[in-house]
Amino acid sequence: MTPTRQGSFRLFRLAGIDVHLHWSWFLVAFYQISTRPDSYSSPGWKILEYLALFVIVLMHEFGHALACRQVGGSSDQIVLWPLGGVAYVNAPQRPGATLWSIAAGPLVNVALVPVFLGLWWLDRANNWAHQLPDFHVFLRSLMMINTVLLIFNLLPVYPLDGGQILRSLLWYPLGKARSLQVATGIGFLGGATLVALAVWEQSIWFGVMAAFLLMNCWGAFKHSRALLKVARLQRRSECRCPECRSSPPVGTYWGCGQCGKGFDMFEGPGVCPHCGAVHEKVTCVDCGCRTPVASWARTGESRPLTQVEVPAPASCDVRT
């Protein structure tokens, strides 16, 4: 349950990243602005404050997107919606790359802290509380918003940034699949706590947030089980993915581009036994990279088939 291009329109494009705004943002913005208590002399400031919140969110999302690219991944879209923002990132499937792509978002909020402290110091030095009372309130609100965003996002509840950071750290000792399973388990606990909080506080907002967390957690949990299944497949140890060095599974896990039937890409190799079509490239089931079949190093000696745990991929550029 994340917003997509559907129902959203493009605001602008920056550094090759399209920024979209979901239609529901307007509804919630209108509701939030109109129901907020008046702490300014004119309503224009309330609108400005709400917009500034999303500027901070956008900077956070750009942190994710640019960091993901830095480590060799791809990211070309950010969608803003009432719950904040979503940066669509495709980070290389290794723990370090994922960790940096996720951590860079909250780090933007951390970097904003001294900026706000500086402005706060100017505020006090120039007595803006009396000279520019509206700006004084505005500044205080933004400091608050940035701090709350930082703390909330760092909660170790999957799929919040904190939960994903935890997952990336667990990836080192537990592997790709198990780490996701543990992180989503903690995510379910966090989501349940938020449900209780929503009932206790009678807050629709917490309820919507809890539903969002739980649905995402459920999706990720199912994904972790699929990953675990893949990790347990019997492997063809004489071949290795040129990107992540993991061996391909033995079995009909690839679909033929010509006849559509499933076959074992490494049996032929690359030749479909049903129609005879020759496939030049193969997708790695572990890292998702598409590479020439010929580049999957064959050691020559036919070692016995073993069950292997998927190793942490070294580097790859995920293409979908």
Interface residue with Zn ion, options 156, 286, 293, 310 (CB under 5 A): 286
Task: Tell me which residues in 81-140 interact with Zn ion (CB under 5 A).
Answer: 105
Output 123 or 161, the one with its CB closest to Zn ion: 161
Instruction: Please identify, among the stretches 34-42, 200-208, 268-276, 297-305, the one whose residues bind Zn ion according to the rule CB under 5 A.
Output: 268-276
Interface residue with Zn ion, options 11, 228, 277, 314 (CB under 5 A): 277
Report the run of H or E that residue 262 belongs to, with start and end.
Answer: strand 262-263
Structure-token match 């989501």, residue found: 191
Point out which residues pair with 290 in neighbouring strands. 283
302 binds Zn ion (CB under 5 A): no
DSSP 8-state code for residue 295: G
Output 139 or 244, the one with its CB closest to Zn ion: 244
Task: Tell me which residues in 215-244 interact with Zn ion (CB under 5 A).
Answer: 241, 243-244
Coil, helix or strand at residue 283: strand
Radius of gyration of the CA atoms of the chain, in A: 24
66 binds Zn ion (CB under 5 A): no
Two tokens at 253?
């896990």
Number of residues that bind Zn ion (CB under 5 A): 15
Instruction: Please identify, among the stretches 144-152, 183-191, 206-214, 273-281, the one whose residues bind Zn ion according to the rule CB under 5 A.
Output: 273-281
25-42 core/surface letters (b: 16 or more CB in 10 A; e: else): beebbeeeeeeeeeebee
166 binds Zn ion (CB under 5 A): no
Interface residue with Zn ion, options 53, 161, 164, 293 (CB under 5 A): 161
Q: What is the dihedral of CA 193, 195, 196, 202, to 10 degrees?
A: 140
Give 44-48 contacts, CB < 8 A, sequence gap 24+: 45/134, 45/137, 45/138, 48/138
Q: What are the residues binding Zn ion (CB under 5 A)? A: 105, 161, 241, 243-244, 256, 258-259, 272, 274-275, 277, 284, 286-287
